[in-house]
Chains A and B, each alone.
Chain A
Amino acid sequence: MVAPVVEAVDLKKTYLLGKVPVNALQGVNLKVEKSDFVAILGPSGSGKSTLLNMVGALDKPTEGKVFINGVDVSTLNDNQLADLRRSIGFVFQFFNLIPRLTARGNVELTLSIADLAKNERRKRAEELLETVGLKERMNHKPSELSGGERQRVAIARALANNPGFLLMDEPTGNIDSKTAKEIIGLVKRLNKDEGVTIIMITHDQQLATQAKRVVKMLDGAIVKAVDQL
Chain B
Amino acid sequence: MKVGDVFSYAFSAIRLRKLRAGLTTLGVVIGIAAIVALLAISQGLQATITDQLQSGFSTDTLIVSPGGGRLFSGVGGGIGGESSGFSLVVNDTQIIDEIEGVVASAAVIQETCFVDGAKAVGAYVVGVDFEVYSEIYSSTFVAETGEIPLNPDNDTVVVGKRVSDPWENGTTVCTVGDSVDIVWINTAVRPPKNETHVASVAAVLEEVGGLSLTGPSDYSVYIPIGQAQSFFGTDGCDRIVVKLASEDDATIAAVSEAIEEAFNGQVSVTSATAVLDIISSVFSTIELFLAGIAAISLLVAGVGIMNIMIVSLMERTREIGILKALGMKSRTVLAIFISEAVIIGVLGAVFGIGLGWLLANVAARVFTGGGFAATTGQAAAAGSFVINPVITPTVLLGAFGFGIIVSVIFAIYPAWRASKLKPVDALRYE
State in angstroms the CA–CA spacing of A96 and B427 once bound together. Answer: 9
Segment of A1-9, A77-85, A207-215 in the binding face:
A77-85
List residues 81-132 of chain A with CB under 8 A from any CB of chain B: 82-87, 90, 92, 96-98, 100-101, 109-110, 112-115
Point out the residues of chain B lying under 8 angstroms from A59, CB to CB: 422-424
The answer to whether A78 touches B329, judged by C-beta atoms less than 8 angstroms apart, is yes
The answer to whether B326 touches A113, judged by C-beta atoms less than 8 angstroms apart, is yes
Point out the residues of chain B lying under 8 angstroms from A114, CB to CB: 327
Whether, in the assembled complex, A23 has its beta carbon less than 8 Å from a beta carbon of chain B, the answer is: no
The answer to whether B13 touches A85, judged by C-beta atoms less than 8 angstroms apart, is no
Point out the residues of chain A lying under 8 angstroms from B319, CB to CB: 98
The answer to whether A85 touches B324, judged by C-beta atoms less than 8 angstroms apart, is yes
Of chain B, the residue at the smallest CB distance from A78 is B330
Segment of B1-9, B235-243, B295-303 in the binding face:
B1-9
State in angstroms the CA–CA spacing of A90 and B1 once bound together. Answer: 19
The answer to whether B323 touches A113, judged by C-beta atoms less than 8 angstroms apart, is yes
A34 to chain B, nearest CB (A): 20
B317 to chain A, nearest CB (A): 12
The count of chain B contact residues (Cβ–Cβ below 8 Å) is 26
Of chain B, the residue at the smallest CB distance from A79 is B329
Which among A79, A85, A100, A101 is the interface contact of B326 at CB below 8 angstroms?
Answer: A85
Of chain B, the residue at the smallest CB distance from A85 is B327
A33 to chain B, nearest CB (A): 23
The answer to whether B327 touches A53, judged by C-beta atoms less than 8 angstroms apart, is no
Of chain B, the residue at the smallest CB distance from A53 is B424
The answer to whether A58 touches B325, judged by C-beta atoms less than 8 angstroms apart, is yes
The answer to whether B326 touches A110, judged by C-beta atoms less than 8 angstroms apart, is yes
The answer to whether A113 touches B328, judged by C-beta atoms less than 8 angstroms apart, is yes
Could you mark each residue 389-430 of chain B with 1 if its beta carbon is under 8 Å from any beta carbon of chain A, else 0? 000000000000000000000000000000000111001000
Of chain A, the residue at the smallest CB distance from B426 is A58
State in angstroms the CA–CA spacing of A83 and B1 once bound together. Answer: 12
Whether, in the assembled complex, B172 has its beta carbon less than 8 Å from a beta carbon of chain A, the answer is: no
> Most chain-B Cβ atoms within 10 A of its Cβ — which of A82, A90, A109?
A82
State in angstroms the CA–CA spacing of A110 and B322 once bound together. Answer: 10
Point out the residues of chain B lying under 8 angstroms from A58, CB to CB: 324-325, 422-424, 427
Of chain A, the residue at the smallest CB distance from B6 is A112
Whether, in the assembled complex, A42 has its beta carbon less than 8 Å from a beta carbon of chain B, the answer is: no
Whether, in the assembled complex, A56 has its beta carbon less than 8 Å from a beta carbon of chain B, the answer is: yes
Whether, in the assembled complex, A161 has its beta carbon less than 8 Å from a beta carbon of chain B, the answer is: yes
Point out the residues of chain B lying under 8 angstroms from A113, CB to CB: 1, 323, 326-328, 332
Whether, in the assembled complex, B12 has its beta carbon less than 8 Å from a beta carbon of chain A, the answer is: yes
Knowing A85-B325, A96-B322, the reply to whether A112 touches B423 (Cβ < 8 A) is no
List residues 122-179 of chain A with CB under 8 A from any CB of chain B: 157, 161
Of chain B, the residue at the smallest CB distance from A84 is B327
Knowing A100-B12, A115-B2, the reply to whether A56 touches B325 (Cβ < 8 A) is yes
Interface of chain B, main secondary structure: helix
Knowing A53-B424, A109-B9, the reply to whether A82 touches B328 (Cβ < 8 A) is yes
Point out the residues of chain A lying under 8 angstroms from B9, CB to CB: 109, 112
The answer to whether A112 touches B16, judged by C-beta atoms less than 8 angstroms apart, is no
State in angstroms the CA–CA spacing of A92 and B318 once bound together. Answer: 12
Point out the residues of chain A lying under 8 angstroms from B328, CB to CB: 82, 113
State in angstroms the CA–CA spacing of A110 and B328 once bound together. Answer: 9
Point out the residues of chain A lying under 8 angstroms from B322, CB to CB: 96-98
State in angstroms the CA–CA spacing of A115 and B2 once bound together. Answer: 6
Knowing A58-B424, A96-B322, A100-B12, the reply to whether A112 touches B5 (Cβ < 8 A) is yes
Point out the residues of chain A lying under 8 angstroms from B422, CB to CB: 58-59
Which among A78, A90, A96, A101 is the interface contact of B318 at CB below 8 angstroms?
Answer: A96
The answer to whether A112 touches B2, judged by C-beta atoms less than 8 angstroms apart, is yes
B319 to chain A, nearest CB (A): 6
Point out the residues of chain B lying under 8 angstroms from A56, CB to CB: 325
State in angstroms the CA–CA spacing of A53 and B427 once bound together. Answer: 10
State in angstroms the CA–CA spacing of A70 and B428 once bound together. Answer: 28
Of chain B, the residue at the smallest CB distance from A54 is B424
The answer to whether A86 touches B1, judged by C-beta atoms less than 8 angstroms apart, is no
Point out the residues of chain A lying under 8 angstroms from B331, CB to CB: 79
State in angstroms the CA–CA spacing of A190 and B84 once bound together. Answer: 104
Point out the residues of chain B lying under 8 angstroms from A97, CB to CB: 322
The answer to whether B424 touches A161, judged by C-beta atoms less than 8 angstroms apart, is no
Point out the residues of chain A lying under 8 angstroms from B330, CB to CB: 78-79, 82
B106 to chain A, nearest CB (A): 78
State in angstroms the CA–CA spacing of A83 and B330 once bound together. Answer: 11
**Contact residues of A with B, CB < 8 Å?**
53, 56, 58-59, 78-79, 82-87, 90, 92, 96-98, 100-101, 109-110, 112-115, 157, 161
Instruction: Enumerate 30 A-B pairs (CB-CB under 8 Å) in ascending A order.
Output: A56-B325, A58-B324, A59-B423, A59-B424, A79-B329, A79-B330, A79-B331, A82-B328, A82-B329, A82-B330, A83-B329, A84-B327, A85-B324, A85-B423, A96-B322, A96-B325, A96-B427, A98-B322, A100-B13, A100-B16, A101-B12, A110-B326, A110-B327, A112-B5, A112-B9, A113-B326, A113-B327, A113-B328, A115-B1, A115-B2
Further 18 A-B residue pairs, CB within 8 A, beyond A85-B423, A96-B427, A113-B327: A58-B325, A58-B427, A59-B423, A59-B424, A78-B330, A83-B329, A84-B327, A85-B324, A90-B325, A96-B318, A96-B321, A97-B322, A98-B319, A98-B322, A100-B13, A109-B9, A110-B327, A113-B332
Closest 9 CB pairs of A and B: A86-B327, A59-B424, A85-B327, A82-B329, A58-B424, A112-B5, A58-B423, A96-B322, A100-B16
